[in-house]
Amino acid sequence: MSTTSVNAPERTAESPLRNAPMSEEVKVSKVEILKEGSHALRGTIVEELSPQFVAMCEDNCNVLKHHGSYQQDDRDFRGSDGKHYMFMVRSRIPGGRLTAQQVLTELDLCEEFGNGTLRITDRQGFQLHGVLKKDLRSAIKGINDAKLTTLGACGDVNRNVMCCPAPYKNNKVHQEMQDLANRLANHLRPRTSAYYEIWLKPQDGEEQDAEKVHEYLCTVPTGPEHVDEEPIYGKVYLPRKFKIGISLPEDSCIDVYAQDLGFLAVVENDQIIGYNILVGGSMGMTPANKKTFPAVAKRMAFCTPDQVIQVAEAIVKVQRDNGNREDRKQARMKYLVAAKGVEWFRKQTELYCGFPLADLHPTDVTGCDDHIGWHEQGDGKLFLGINVDNGRLKDEGDLRLKTGLRAVLRKYGMDCRNTALQGFILCDIDPSEKENINRMLAEHGIRSAEEWSIPRRLSIACPAYPTCGLAVTEAERAMPSVMDAIENVLAQNDLLGDRIAVHMTGCPNGCARPYSPDVGLVGKARNKYTIYLGGNTNCTRIGFLWQDMVPQEEIATRLAPIFSRYRNERQAGECFGDFCHRLGKEGLASA
């Protein structure tokens, strides 16, 4: 991203925001100028929704991200007539908590306005793909009619707050954490009324049922002359995206160390006494830029449950006021933490909070659970975790996942959860219905937990080709065959029951958190990947680059001798990631 002085006339005649106000001379990226001049995230989106425009201009595409949507083109259909523009629409779903009706609505929307599939994201949200510009408003309005929202799902703000989705009812810990995820998401949401004006405000001839509009959107000013001043984000929002996760030590299923801000619950006698605060995690990097790197968060301090909201706001503001706005590749909070140090960051947080933070509790991450299969909730009911290969809810061949889930949800109407490993949980099931639900799912080709290997259950991939504009190669579409080959090698070494996590992305930006699991596969060029080893299933450590530019069809073959050595040389209780970390790159190459 190039930079400019904010008082330099860099805008061209083509820019719809060329008359936006300038600030004092400070070096900032062009995106910062754009946000400041966007009229609180309005831009000229309304004008460009008109049928006379084939696509949205680059300026409005950057503003549109804050509304929860990315303009994309399907590279499978590029041809002599150019790009085929469409939109991805992402729903913000704190902790992945959903009602049956919300899931059914999203499934309907993916068929009415999308490409017929619904994707569970690795941040517990939903994504519609293939939405045409003419249908964008209808899709976003439909999501809000279900009392979900796309605001805060993308852009330079706090994004979806992640939390362990397991609906355990035997104590208040899980419920308290899930409630906290909702409170954090609501507290840190953008306040601009632009979202309501563009997507939800009744147009000519439309009627609006206020009950169908997300409650906080019914209370904001809606006049076209109103320009919001964000109370937390200010005029230019954050330097880059910001991610929060809430976790338990024994179950960091949301990869708490991968977050900009992590809250690790400290539990004593079935009560949360507070949270260890983790800062500066982030997976993205640019291989050609040596100043960029993936990072796990650093342990900073401890806070009590009643302090969490204040602490989160303070940390957001520290990043807001100190993060790099000149170079977007250096703008994530991890670079601020790395440059200034944890102690400096803690002192700044305390200044913004107005109170001192306690020192860290010794509690740390010890495990994670994918929540797949049947489990007792603790209240006499059951929940069922369903593995969804790479998160894509679709009907294809004998697997009619979308139709099967529809049938179950229509019959039983249970609450649901999305997991961070792109799985799906059905909650509050009466034990007497267990066999009926098993039968219904099996009739639609939906496999039980026992029919999946553990590594397959722990695998995730980003969408990549053909829709993501950043992808350099395949991920989601390649992952099934890659995992088939890896499973064959694992079976030969009697390792299919081992907890080995494989994450795959189609580029180095790291959306599927590929740098911290046991095996990371990162797209480097068309059909070629960088293999990372030495992370772990709990994702608390960054792995090392093991081999670069590996053809897709050779991934399993390259890993085969390492799996064989692990089987023969591992120490008692040593997981695959720890084994690779102990030997290191040179040790693994010395065989």
Residues taking part in catalysis: 90, 159, 241, 243, 462, 468, 507, 511
Residue 479 burial (CB count, 10 A):
26
Instruction: Give the contacts of 488 (CB within 8 A, at least 6 positions apart).
Output: 556
Rounded CA-CA distance 410/434 in Å is 16
Phi and psi (nearest 5°) for 423? -95, 180
CA distance readout (Å), 69 to 103, 133, 399, 552: 19, 11, 29, 30
Instruction: Give the contacts of 347 (CB within 8 A, at least 6 positions apart).
Output: none
CB 68 within 8 A of CB 91: yes
Rounded CA-CA distance 316/264 in Å is 18
CA distance readout (Å), 275 to 173, 355, 367: 12, 16, 17
Q: Beta strands of 11-117 (E only): which ranges?
A: 27-29, 69-73, 85-91, 97-98
Which amino acid is it at 102? Answer: Q
CB 543 within 8 A of CB 580: yes
- Comparing CA positions, the residue from 175, 180, 394 lying closest to residue 270 is 175
CB 384 within 8 A of CB 371: no
Say what angle helices 555-569 and 479-492 make with each other, to 10 degrees.
30
Q: Beta strands of 226-281 (E only): which ranges?
A: 244-247, 261-268, 271-279
Half-sphere exposure of 538 (CA within 13 A, CB side): 16
Phi and psi (nearest 5°) for 504? -130, 135
Phi and psi (nearest 5°) for 117? -125, 155
CA distance readout (Å), 33 to 20, 326, 535: 8, 11, 38
> Which helix H or strand E contains 366, and what residues bound it?
none
Q: Which residues partner with 274 through β-bridges?
A: 266
Rounded CA-CA distance 387/547 in Å is 30
Phi and psi (nearest 5°) for 533? -130, 165
Phi and psi (nearest 5°) for 400? -110, 70
> Which helix H or strand E contains 529, and what residues bound it?
strand 528-533
Q: What is the DSSP letter of 134?
A: G
DSSP secondary structure string for all residues of 187-224: HTS---THHIIIIIS--TT----GGGS-GGGGSS---T
Rounded CA-CA distance 246/297 in Å is 13
